[in-house]
Amino acid sequence: MRIIGIDPGSVICGYGVIEKQQQNFVLIECGSIKVKKLTNSMPERLKEIFLTIGKIVERTNPDASVFESVFFSKNVQSTVKLSQARAAAILAIVMQNIPVFEYSPREIKKSVTGKGSAGKEQVLFMVNNLLKISLPKENLDTSDALAVALCHFLKNPISSKSNKSWADFIKKNPDRIVR
Catalytic site residue from 7, 19, 48, 144 = 7
Classify 38 as helix, strand or coil: coil
Length of the chain: 179
Distances (CA, A) of 36 to 9, 10, 45, 69: 10, 7, 7, 22
Residues 6+ apart with CB under 8 A from 71: 104, 105
Partners of 30 in the beta sheet? 16
User: Of 44, 102, 121, 141, which is the active-site residue?
Assistant: 141
**Cα angle, residue 134 at apex, residues 105 and 29 outer, rounded to 5°:** 70
Task: Check 48, 68, 121, 138 and give the catalytic one.
Answer: 68
Residue 70: count of CB within 10 angstroms of its CB: 14
Radius of gyration of the chain (CA): 16
168 is catalytic: no
Annotated active-site residue 68? The verdict is yes
Is 63 marked active-site? no
Mind giving me the DSSP string for 42-80?
HHHHHHHHHHHHHHHHHHH--SEEEEEPP---S-HHHHH
* Catalytic positions, written as ranges: 7, 68, 141
